[in-house]
């Protein structure tokens, strides 16, 4: 059954980039070292920055990201410390290379999911985006994690460069033993905003509303039919549907190695963060910042989308918005029947 996942007011989701270093140079990577920093956080800093969020609400979840988080030599210790703080779930987002023998240093009781990024049903498509040999290494990483008893999820970032292979993914997921499937819309951030993807005859690398709705929900239904939970962005609001901003009604934090803490991922290419770690303390950032814009009500729906990536919005000849854009953190979920 498909449902729109309501923003949780009783849980905090902490997306913690513990470094920005990566062994790959994916053409659509959203990491922006000028805005996010180039540091690799030491273990003491990671522990200190985990602490302020652990007690928010009744439940806190942490997702360790990079760059490539398994490049961090202290990732296993960071995971265990998050558990001691009471984080309800721990996820590691990885490109599949699984450095520092991470699968031998943690257990399935400590890590809820290893979440792998794969952007093609074939090596040809994936490797054109992520680099030669990445598809095979990622598949091998998934197999190694499954063999050790870890739950695995897979992230597929849809763009014009790989949309044609999304329909082939349910069979790939089944073969690999994936439990959760995240379909993402490509953000116009980082390298993709700077032209990292080819020009598709003047079109945006993002799909139109019609293209997205024709492709993504049917694939999600097919994957759910074979026992996989699928989550994907709402992207566009239904006619008459109320717009809600996660920055106002949810607890999501995107932490970067330079100490910036964002509430909205659309803002991450700019110094618009609402919070920051300074001298080890979490403090409010100076005005103006993303918090000052969350409450604005505009016809397009998401004010951050209108400010930061207006080319993402379509208008009719009279200047009215063709479709209202949903908050980028609003998700649809389809669970196996």
In the structure, what pLDDT confidence band is assigned to residue 220 with cuts at 50, 70 and 90?
very high
Bond from prior residue into 288 cis (ω within 30 degrees of 0): yes
Least confident of 8-22, 129-143, 272-286: 8-22
Q: Are 62 and 82 in contact (CB under 8 A)?
A: yes
Per residue in 1-27, pLDDT (tens digit) is 565 655 776 788 999 999 999 999 999
Q: Is the pLDDT of residue 200 over 60?
A: no
What superfamily does domain 2-297+327-334 belong to in CATH? Aldolase class I (3.20.20.70)
| pTM of the predicted protein model | 0.94
The domain locations on the chain are 2-297+327-334
What pLDDT is stored for residue 4 in this prediction?
61
The percentage of residues in the chain with a pLDDT greater than 90, rounded to a whole number, is 74
What pLDDT is stored for residue 202 in this prediction?
60
Average pLDDT over residues 204-226: 93
Average pLDDT over residues 259-276: 96
User: Which residues partner with 5 through β-bridges?
Assistant: 331
Distance separating alpha carbons of residues 200 and 186, to the nearest angstrom:
14
What pLDDT is stored for residue 325 in this prediction?
83
Q: Are 228 and 239 in contact (CB under 8 A)?
A: no
Residue 319 makes CB contacts below 8 A (sequence gap 6+) with none
* Alpha helices, H only, the chain: 33-36, 43-54, 75-84, 102-105, 123-130, 134-147, 169-176, 190-193, 209-225, 246-249, 303-308
Distance separating alpha carbons of residues 258 and 274, to the nearest angstrom:
14
What pLDDT is stored for residue 143 in this prediction?
98
What pLDDT is stored for residue 291 in this prediction?
95
Instruction: Kindly report the backbone phi and psi dihedral angles of residue 310, in degrees, each rounded to the nearest multiple of 5, phi listed first.
Output: -65, -20
């Amino acid at each position: 059954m498909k449902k729109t996942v309501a923003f949780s007011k009783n849980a905090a989701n902490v997306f913690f980039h513990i470094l920005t270093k990566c062994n790959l140079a994916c053409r659509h990577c959203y990491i922006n070292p000028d805005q996010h920093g180039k540091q690799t956080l030491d273990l003491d800093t990671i522990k200190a920055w985990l602490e302020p969020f652990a007690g928010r609400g009744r439940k806190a979840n942490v997702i360790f990201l990079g760059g490539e988080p398994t490049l961090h030599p202290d990732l296993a210790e960071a995971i265990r410390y998050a558990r001691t703080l009471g984080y309800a779930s721990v996820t590691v987002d990885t490109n599949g290379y699984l450095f520092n023998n991470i699968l031998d240093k943690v257990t399935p009781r400590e890590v809820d999911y290893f979440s792998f990024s794969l952007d093609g049903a074939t090596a040809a498509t994936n490797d054109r985006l992520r680099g030669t040999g990445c598809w095979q290494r990622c598949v091998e990483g998934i197999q190694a994690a499954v063999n050790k008893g870890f739950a695995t999820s897979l992230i597929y970032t849809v763009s014009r460069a790989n949309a044609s292979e999304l329909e082939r993914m349910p069979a790939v997921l089944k073969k690999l033993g994936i439990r959760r499937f995240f379909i993402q819309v490509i953000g116009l951030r980082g390298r993709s905003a700077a032209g990292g993807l080819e020009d598709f005859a003047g079109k945006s690398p993002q799909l139109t509303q019609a293209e997205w709705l024709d492709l993504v929900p049917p694939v999600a239904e097919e994957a759910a039919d074979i026992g996989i939970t699928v989550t994907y962005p709402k992207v566009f609001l239904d006619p008459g549907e109320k717009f809600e901003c996660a920055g106002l009604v949810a607890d999501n934090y995107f932490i970067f190695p330079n100490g910036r803490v964002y509430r909205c991922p659309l803002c991450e290419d700019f110094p618009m963060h609402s919070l920051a770690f300074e001298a080890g303390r979490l403090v409010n950032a100076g005005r103006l910042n993303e918090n000052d814009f969350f409450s604005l009500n505009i016809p397009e729906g998401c004010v951050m989308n209108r400010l930061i990536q207006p080319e993402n919005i379509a208008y009719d000849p009279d200047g009215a918005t063709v479709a209202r854009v949903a908050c980028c953190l609003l998700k649809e979920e389809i669970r196996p029947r």
